[in-house]
Amino acid sequence: MGPPRSTFDKLISPIVHLSSNWVSRIGVILVTSAVVFWIFLFPTSVRGAGAHPYLGILEFLIVPSVFFAGLGVIPIGMWLRVRSEKKSGAAPSGKGRAELRHLLIFVGITTVVNLILGSLFTYQAVGYMDGVAFCGETCHKVMHPEFAAYQNSPHSRVECVACHIGPGASWFVKSKLSGVGQLFAVTFNTYPRPIPTPVRNLRPARETCEACHWPQKFGEDRLRVISNYGDDEKNPLTRTVLLMRVGGIHAAHLGPGVTIHYSPSDESRQTIPRVEYQNSVTGRQAVFVAADAKPDALNKLPTRQMDCMDCHNRPTHTLELPERAVNKALALGAISPSLPFVKKRSVELLKKSYASQEEAARKIPAALQQLYRDSPPADVARAAQALVAIYSRNVFPEMKVTWGTYPNNVGHTDFPGCFRCHDDNHVAADGKKIVQECNTCHQLLTMDDPAPKILTELGLQ
Ligand code: HEC
Ligand code: HEC
Ligand code: HEC
Ligand code: HEC
Ligand code: HEC
């Protein structure tokens, strides 16, 4: 008989003994790794809540999974050991303290290794996932259309998370939870193509957009010159000049005291049978209902408060239509207007269906060369390059995104836009309508004009 057995010998020693096997050790490695990585990740989520959603997935999903997997593996190893010892009839060895020492040394070494790996890893991961490249490219091949359009927008220097998450902890967590769902959708290839718009549960725009766009400054009138090249041989240029009443437009929907609620009858919010207007400053209230709407159907519709996104729904994922994109390329000189019928033919080539962007990048230049054998080869090559660029930032066959898939709500010529409500068909009880009068939103200074006098007067030509 040896010395009296201490608590250590009675309780801890058998556990230590049973867990000194390779399966349990792997569990120990997983548990210590998870703890160390979590310690490294923790400050990043405290510092920049909202800054990197996918680091959050690592922190809240992957690291805890590893931790609990490790916890699960340790008893499995112990159980296997019990079984094998029962079989072989081997008695517990009684080297309790030596085994504990081995275990502690083992944990110590794993921790040191983890500290080194962890510090290297988090340093790089933070920098990497912080970046727009991660959101738009790596994880989100799925978001290729959004990323491509984004790069070609006034917000190309604004991080994705500035609009999609914004500051503060609660939206950080909400977006992370939906991020987890999205991660699975991408992993198991179950995501919808195209990604549906609008984004449901997007944070209210006024909390995100107004972080940068000063809400009190609603903007001044702004001159818009829209160039259009015709379909004739000479690609004749005409211009439309609008004076946009930006300040008035903003004040009418979001000015002091104004709240507008509306009820869309379709997922993409393109049909709006009911609009409710309230102004707490003037006391005016009105409910405008589309003349053809059925009253009992109206009551079942969801209601949404109008904010920036209801007009600026594509502030950065501004996909173009082929005519407009070609007009822009012609105006910039990327396509030479001296090529006969180049406007018409370019649009036709862009609208054809191609199996992939790669196919378009082969077939469009080949077709142009065929059409313009007698034109300066440099012009043709440049036009080809411009068209391939237009195609590849707007059409994504693998995501089923093509011309016009995503409507843009600013305007009324390409999509319903402002005329979803301002269609002269939404009437209030007192007979008043939501106005459609042409000079309410802009002054139409000239339209499709080959030589706009107004531009000469302003010294713009
Ligand atoms: C200037 C603000 C802003 C920035 C920056 C931004 N987005 Fe968006 N994003 C939006 C808005 C607004 C919508 C449409 C919301 C709606 O209609 O409900 C949207 C929609 C989306 C959608 C849904 C599909 C669609 O096209 O409507 C995806 C996916 C998306 N964005 C990804 C990204 C990625 C990736 C980045 C960074 C490369 C990014 N966004 C940067 C504002 C932004
Ligand atoms: C992180 C800052 C930031 C956030 C957040 C942001 N923007 Fe912007 N926005 C900018 C910058 C910078 C410009 C470019 C100004 C320029 O080029 O003169 C811009 C330009 C714009 C323009 C003018 C584009 C044009 O054609 O001139 C619109 C419209 C706009 N933003 C709407 C929005 C909306 C809507 C949101 C919210 C979904 C938003 N912005 C969120 C920084 C931001
Ligand atoms: C009722 C629709 C509507 C709403 C709501 C709306 N805007 Fe606008 N906004 C417009 C229109 C139209 C223009 C002018 C576009 C143009 O000139 O082509 C514009 C222009 C702008 C510009 C460019 C201004 C300039 O002077 O160049 C910015 C920035 C902008 N809006 C930000 C916002 C922000 C931020 C919100 C939310 C607080 C918002 N808008 C809400 C319709 C709207
Ligand atoms: C969801 C419905 C809705 C949409 C979409 C909408 N508006 Fe409005 N708009 C209203 C309502 C409601 C009023 C207030 C009507 C009233 O007071 O009688 C209004 C008023 C206005 C006014 C002031 C009219 C006046 O009599 O002074 C302007 C300007 C305006 N809107 C411009 C726009 C522009 C530009 C767009 C598109 C970018 C747009 N609106 C999109 C609902 C909408
Ligand atoms: C509710 C506000 C509103 C009303 C009413 C309105 N427009 Fe517009 N219109 C806009 C906005 C916003 C744009 C887009 C400006 C831009 O491209 O940013 C636009 C653009 C245009 C354009 C330029 C189209 C192009 O090629 O880009 C023309 C032309 C035009 N409007 C004509 C009209 C005519 C004609 C009427 C009267 C039937 C009218 N608008 C009524 C808001 C309005």
Per-residue pLDDT reduced to its tens digit, 5-59: 666 667 677 777 777 788 888 998 898 888 888 887 777 666 544 445 566 667 7
Per-residue pLDDT reduced to its tens digit, 149-171: 888 888 988 877 778 766 665 66
Give strand pairing partners of 244.
Answer: 222, 442
Give backbone dihedrals phi and psi of 203, rounded to 5 degrees, phi first: -60, 140
Please list every protein residue whose CB sits less than 6 Å from any atom of ligand 2: 154-155, 158, 162-163, 205, 208-209, 211-213, 308-309, 312, 315
The pTM score is: 0.83
Q: Is 339 in the pocket of ligand 4 (CB under 6 A)?
A: no
pLDDT at 293 over 60: yes
Label residue 310 by pLDDT band (50, 70, 90). Answer: very high
Mean pLDDT of 381-385: 97
Per-residue pLDDT reduced to its tens digit, 323-371: 999 999 999 999 999 999 999 999 999 999 999 999 999 999 999 999 9
Q: Which residue has the higher pLDDT, 297 or 351?
A: 351
pLDDT the model gives residue 204 = 76
Q: Which three-class secondary structure state does DSSP give residue 396? A: strand
Q: Which three-class secondary structure state does DSSP give residue 384? A: helix
Query: In this structure, how many other beta carbons lie within 10 angstroms of the beta carbon of residue 430?
Result: 6
Of 168, 135, 151, 169, the residue nearest 54 (C-alpha):
135
Q: Which three-class secondary structure state does DSSP give residue 204? A: coil
Average pLDDT, the chain: 84
Mean pLDDT of 83-99: 72
Q: Which atom of ligand 1 is nearest to the CA of 195?
A: 24
What are the tokens at 155? 């917000």
Contact 234, 343 (CB under 8 A): no
Give backbone dihedrals phi and psi of 218, rounded to 5 degrees, phi first: -85, 0
Residue type, position 20, single letter: S
Q: Is 143 in the pocket of ligand 3 (CB under 6 A)?
A: no
pLDDT the model gives residue 100 = 74
Q: What separation in Å is there between the alpha carbon of 175 and the centre of ligand 2?
A: 22
Name the residue at shortest CA distance from atom 19 of ligand 3: 246
Mean pLDDT of 242-257: 93
